Chain A
Amino acid sequence: MVAAPTIRPAARRRPRPAAVRIRGRKSWTLTVLTTVMLIYTMLPLAWLVISATKTQDGLLSSFGLWFDGDFALLDNIGRVFTYQDGIYLRWLGNTVFYVVIGAGGATLLSALAGYGLAKFEFRGRRAVFAVILGAVAVPPTALAVPTFLLFAKAGITDTVWAVIIPSLMIPFSLYLMWVFARDAVPDEILESARVDGAGEFRIFFNLAVPLLSPGLVTALLFNIVVTWNNLFLPLIMLKDRQLYPITLGIYTWNQQAQTVGGDVVFNLVITGSLLAIVPLIAAFLLLQRYWQSGLAVGSVKQ
Chain B
Amino acid sequence: MRMTRRRALLGAAMSLTLLAAGCGSSDDGTDSTPAKTTVSDADVEAALQAGGNLTVWAWEPTLTKVVADFQIKYPKVKVNLIKNGSGNDQYTALQNAIKAGTGVPDVAQIEYYALSQFALSKAVTDLNTFGAKSLDGTFTPGPWSSVHAGDKIYGLPMDSGPMALFYNKEVFDKYGIAIPKTWEDYAAAAAKLHQANPKAWITSDSGDAGFTTSMIWQAGGRPYKVDGTTVSINFADPGTQKWTGLWQGLIDKKLLAPIPGWSDAWYKGLGDGTIASLVIGAWMPPNLESGVKAASGKWRVAPMPQWAAGEKVTSENGGSSLAVTEASQNKTLAYGFMKYATVAEGAQSRTDEGAFPATTAQINADAFKNKEFPYLGGQKANEVLAEAAANVAPGWSYLPFQVFANSVYNDSVGKAYTGGGTLQDGLKGWQDASTKYGQEQGFTIQ
Contacts and interface: CB of A to CB of B under 8 A. Distances in A.
Contact of A144 (B13, B82, B292, B354): B13
A259 interface: yes
Interface stretch (B97-105, B244-252, B339-347, B427-435): B97-105
B161 to A, nearest CB: 8
Contacts, number: 116
A41 interface: no
Contacts of A252: 83, 85
Nearest to B103: A157
Interface string B139-181: 0000000000000000000010000000000000000000000
Given A152-B101, A261-B354, A60 B294 contact: yes
B103 A145 contact: no
A239 B267 contact: no
B85 A262 contact: no
Contact of B96 (A61, A148, A240, A266): A148
A145 B61 contact: no
A149 B5 CA distance: 26
Interface stretch (B38-46, B283-291, B369-377, B392-400): B283-291
A258 interface: yes
Instruction: Output the residue of B102, B159, B286 with the most chain A CB within 10 A.
Output: B102
Contact of A57 (B85, B87, B293): B293
Nearest to A263: B290
B100 A153 contact: yes
B272 interface: yes
A241 B59 CA distance: 12
Contact of B291 (A145, A232, A251, A264): A264
A250 B104 CA distance: 25
A240 B283 contact: no
Interface string A225-257: 000000010011001110000000001100101
A157 B59 CA distance: 20
Interface string B247-273: 000000000000000101001100110
Interface residues on B, range: 35 or more
A255 B4 contact: yes
Interface residues of A, number: 34
A259 B1 contact: yes
A71 to B, nearest CB: 18
B24 to A, nearest CB: 15
Nearest to B101: A152
B133 to A, nearest CB: 28
B12 A141 contact: yes
B9 interface: yes
B138 interface: no
Contacts of A17: none
A148 B87 CA distance: 20
Contacts of A255: 4, 59, 85-86, 89
A261 B13 contact: no
Contacts of B16: 145
B348 to A, nearest CB: 16
Interface in A120-153: 141-142, 144-145, 148-149, 152-153
A60 B268 contact: yes
Contacts of B99: 149
A259 B5 CA distance: 11
A10 interface: no
B16 to A, nearest CB: 5
A148 B4 contact: no
Contacts of B262: 257-258
Interface in B12-32: 12-13, 16-17
B71 interface: no
Given A59-B264, A149-B96, A261-B355, A232 B83 contact: no
B264 A259 contact: no
Contacts of B9: 141, 232
A264 B290 contact: yes
Instruction: Output the residue of A56, A257, A258 with the most chain B CB within 10 A.
Output: A258
Interface string A31-67: 0000000000000000000000000110111000000
Interface in B84-120: 84-87, 89, 92-93, 96-97, 99-103
A15 interface: no
Contacts of B159: 260
B185 interface: no
B192 interface: no
18 contacts: A57-B271, A57-B293, A141-B9, A152-B96, A152-B101, A153-B100, A258-B87, A259-B60, A260-B281, A260-B287, A260-B355, A261-B61, A261-B355, A262-B290, A263-B61, A264-B267, A266-B264, A266-B267
Given A60-B268, A239-B84, A255-B89, 13 more contacts: A61-B268, A61-B272, A141-B12, A152-B101, A236-B13, A236-B92, A236-B96, A255-B4, A257-B262, A258-B4, A258-B87, A261-B60, A262-B86
9 closest A-B pairs (Cβ-Cβ)? Answer: A152-B100, A264-B291, A260-B1, A60-B268, A258-B262, A260-B283, A261-B286, A259-B86, A57-B294
